[in-house]
Amino acid sequence: MSAAYTPRWPAILRRVETRPWAATILAAIRADFTRWTRELVIPGPERPSAWSHHYFCDGDGAPLVFDAATPARHACSLCGRVYLGEPWDGAWRTTMHNAAAVQAQRAALLVRLSDGQEPRAELERIAAVYARDYLAYEPHGVNAGTGRVLPQSLDEAVWAVGMLRALRWAGDALSPATCLAVDAMARAIVELLRPQVGMIHNIHCWLLAALAECAARLGNDELMAWCRDSPFGAETQVIEGFRPEGLWYEVNAHYHYYAVAALLSYREAAGPAGLSARAALRLSRAIAAPPSLAYADTCLPAYGDGWADCHVGDFASQAEAACAVVPEAPVDLAPYYERPRPGPVRPWFGNPATLPGCAEIQGRSSVAALVFGPDDVPAGSGDRASFVWPCTGIGLLRSASVRLAMRFGPDGGWHDHRDKLNVDVETATGWSSLDLGTSGYGSDFTAWMRSPHAHNLVIVDGARQPAHTGRLLESSARHLVAESAWEGTVLRRSVEVTDGGWTDEFTVTLAAPGRIEWVFHGDGRFAAAERAGAPAPDETALRDVRFTTTERAGAPAPDETALCDVRTLLVPPDRVLRGAWDVDGAPRLALAVPEGFEAYTATATGNPNGRPLGVILLRGHGDHARFHATFELSSERPRRDSRREHPR
């Protein structure tokens, strides 16, 4: 196979000398390198690492604060609650191992782009410790296979990619003895990870990327060919994992770009022959597609197990790397820098998360930009239009006042929230109804966020939908109709955007009578227009809405329900419930309540923009129902745009 894509170090040096943005990145890398030379402590094999998804607060879903100096004390970044012992100590060790891989990358870059022996010494220290102790780390696994240094095959692969890439970039910087030990470590990584490749999944893309780095280091052509052509090799991952429109089958942006980063990492190590022309074009399409889904502030919807504060620009490093690693198709970088946010330098490997205290810069701020991107980013058009992706199962409608998306496609696997026909909305007046996404998978708070009541749905018998595929029935630039059906249950939703708002009609037909609930949420607390004679608050009215949690020894007890301030609403004689959410720019709602249905309002937690989340719920019993809602926006502009002022 062809050689890996190798950074052109002389050209990168010239870029640093002639482009201020490149010089700024290199200066930040030097500053972070100096800091982590002092703070990096490589956890030994005496105690196992643990799943990083445990590093979140059970009460509010916020991440815990990683502090290199406190391996046994972990505080919530939002409420300050302190967690002690396992699994949080083990998750701290996982974060420190990943910090070591990032530090190895900084050292390799400084070996190539600056003078001095300190980067060589730091790289030698990190590589020698892991190569010496690798087999002393006991194999262990949780949720996604087995790792040694890290707690599962996925994390092991991401760490291995970062470490081996850094050593490949550094050339002959290591001592001969450490080189031999690293070769032995690479063979052990192959022995551990190769048997675990076995499905189309973002995790297995990372296993292939790590194995390709091992093959490149060891000169193992047989292994490299297997990474490309085996039944679950990279070629199959690209063609079957990405829908024709370019979105990864797990739907949410986080896992989409996670798979993209893995496959770009694979091709970097494998070289041009690592993918066919067809697969390379599909991978390029995966860079172009997601910005189409973005809200006005460039935040991407948190579909499924997505992360709420997730902006297009957060994934600029993948687009930058694709410029060099997928040369078959030009990559448009402009959408990734439409609204750049200041941030730390993102490493080009695996998990894009960075740690507190790193130097922050504005604009182009990634290792991938420095190493793989073009000298300059061209301006973009900024045009946005309605579209439908029938294979992915997403339709997005736009008018002058509304951006509304509905999802109806194939099941997205384990990360799918089983919420076919869910809609998410953003208005030009600053109001929104967002997908809540998820928190750390080890956090009890995530049980609420995955529940059907956290979505804009019709819910049957209080249960999540089974895994299934919906279907598109009609579509135009302003109108969308889709259907979701399983075991005699048929749900059909028709949405239409107008210049002044949108309409939403939902019909449900059941094989046998059951409980039917219509749920919709949005920014602010909902207040009904008709208050005279309205019943008093009834906190027990929705007591049967509960969210399954996973109990852990020593974990704080979760709340029984995320719905609070429950109130029974008076349904007017004409059966049309009218009202609005109590924030600037909110739409006025007119909701037809079917005969026999009761209406409730409540508030809930987890709104990605930090606002209160006002919930409307209609509940009844029968074998069919029709819900019709009209949302009308004021012509006045909001006094301020408060979206995402205080993200979760």
Q: How far is CA 312 from CA 250, 299, 308, 367, 582, in A?
A: 17, 6, 12, 17, 30
CB contact at 8 A, 555 and 81: no
Q: Which residues pair with 564 in a beta bridge?
A: 603
Q: Whole-angstrom Cα distance, residue 218 to residue 229?
A: 19
Neighbours of 637 (CB within 10 A): 12
Query: Which CATH fold topology does 9-372 show?
Result: Glycosyltransferase (1.50.10)
DSSP letter for each residue of 412-426? -GGG----TT-EEEE
CB contact at 8 A, 252 and 306: yes
10-residue mean pLDDT series, the chain (648 residues): 83 96 96 94 94 84 89 93 93 93 96 90 97 96 90 95 96 95 98 97 96 97 97 98 95 92 97 96 96 94 88 94 93 92 86 71 93 90 86 96 96 91 97 91 83 96 95 96 97 97 98 97 92 60 68 41 86 95 96 96 92 96 97 68 45
Model pTM greater than 0.85?
yes
**What is the reported pLDDT for 535?**
60
CATH number belonging to domain 387-632: 2.70.98.70
**What is the reported pLDDT for 642?**
42
Residue 542 DSSP SS3: coil
Q: Which of 177, 59, 114 is nearest to 445 (CA)?
A: 59
**What is the reported pLDDT for 269?**
97
Residue 630 DSSP SS3: strand
- Residue 513 phi, psi dihedral angles, 5° rounding: -55, 145
Which of left, alpha, beta for 124 (phi over 0: left; psi -120 to 50: alpha)?
Answer: alpha
What's the one-letter identity of residue 34?
T
**128: its two tokens:** 């020698």
**What is the reported pLDDT for 612?**
94
Q: Whole-angstrom Cα distance, residue 396 to residue 476?
A: 10
Distance from CA of residue 514 to its chain's centroid?
35
**What is the reported pLDDT for 263?**
98
Domain limits, CATH 1.50.10.100, in the chain? 9-372
Q: Whole-angstrom Cα distance, residue 359 to residue 129?
A: 27
CB contact at 8 A, 221 and 213: no
Residue 576, CB-side half-sphere exposure with 13 Å CA sphere: 9
Q: Which of 495, 493, 339, 494 is nearest to 403 (CA)?
A: 495
CB contact at 8 A, 285 and 275: no
Estimate the share of the chain in helix, then strand, then coil, as percent rounded to the nearest 5: 35, 20, 45
Domain limits, CATH 2.70.98.70, in the chain? 387-632
Residue 217, CB-side half-sphere exposure with 13 Å CA sphere: 30
**What is the reported pLDDT for 641?**
43
Q: Whole-angstrom Cα distance, residue 591 to residue 505?
A: 10
